Amino acid sequence: MMYKTYHVAQSIEEALSLLLKSVDRKVRFIAGGTDLMLQLRERIVEADMLVDISVIPEMKQISQDGSKISIGAVVSYSEMRQSDLLKKNGFLLVEASKLIGATQIQNMGTIGGNIGNASPAGDILPCLYALDAEIALQSADKKRSMPLRRFITGYRQLDLQPGELISGISFEALQPGMGSSFVKFGARQAQAISIVSVAAVLQVQAGKISRVAIALGSVAPTIVRSSSAEELLLSEQPSPDLFEKAGEAARDDISPIDDIRGSAAFRRYITQPLVSQALETAWRRTQKQI
């Protein structure tokens, strides 16, 4: 047995009360299960009880409230891929969802799982960092929210309190004139864990870059926002040349390591063209309003 009991929660309240009632037992929430089931099998994680949160209606929605887009924590990558709301207001999330795993993983895995896992190689995370996303957390007695980049405190480490659940994530909808993109480099296109990934958001007004966000994955213990590249770009006129320089600058903000997927030197090398590619794509999209 990988776990003893399994409960399907129908609401956030039910999920949280199951967690509270089982203080002396090892309880884990399960959404997509693509990481947890592997950890249970390998005995990296032990659990007495799994609480399935994958069918809780309010956690399964992508919604808009004014300029704010909210994504429930158990929305799957497939659902993000197909979301018209995201295609219009956060295209980079659609793009990243297409590049995660393959069909089966996209049908199973969820945005909340990607956040909760807090791996620097999680492909949704650079997108959310570039969007300055806020995370919504809920426990039996309170709700709180905070910027995602403060919630993720280190390599696979979260500021998650006991009895708390990630209920969703939200960000300001991208406006007309803004473009976004996500690019990754892996051993192959599908089913590969990123060696380096880059998310970019760009806005051009009156021929000058008025807003820019560049986030990099797999180059440090957590996702990195490249302030050097962002500073270099702001108020400048966009051009492929400038984007190449931004890629160079991004190298200063990363601290990659050697691992089985790639060396630190290779990660440093590939960061520059990936950043410049992400920026060029985002720039092209500023003209298409996505």
Of residues 33 and 163, the one with the C-beta less far from other proteins? 33
Token pair 């790639």 is found at 262
Of residues 5 and 210, the one with the C-beta less far from other proteins? 5
Of residues 101 and 122, the one with the C-beta less far from other proteins? 101
C-alpha span between 30 and 169 (Å, rounded): 17
How near is the Cβ of 195 to other proteins at its closest, in Å?
A: 17
Of residues 101 and 262, the one with the C-beta less far from other proteins? 101
Residues 6+ apart with CB under 8 A from 212: 200, 201, 202, 203, 229, 230, 233, 234
Handedness of CA 68, 71, 77, 80 (dihedral sign): negative
For residue 52, give both structure tokens. Answer: 């399935």
Residues interacting with other proteins, by CB under 8 A?
Answer: 1-6, 8, 30, 33-34, 37-38, 41, 50, 52, 54, 78, 101-105, 107-108, 189-191
C-alpha span between 236 and 202 (Å, rounded): 12
- State the angle between helix axes of 264-286 and 240-250 in degrees (0 to 180), rounded to the nearest 10: 140
How near is the Cβ of 3 to other proteins at its closest, in Å?
A: 5
Of residues 21 and 41, the one with the C-beta less far from other proteins? 41
Classify 8 as helix, strand or coil: strand
Per DSSP, 253 falls in state: G
CB 204 within 8 A of CB 238: yes
How near is the Cβ of 289 to other proteins at its closest, in Å?
A: 25
How near is the Cβ of 287 to other proteins at its closest, in Å?
A: 25
How near is the Cβ of 54 to other proteins at its closest, in Å?
A: 8
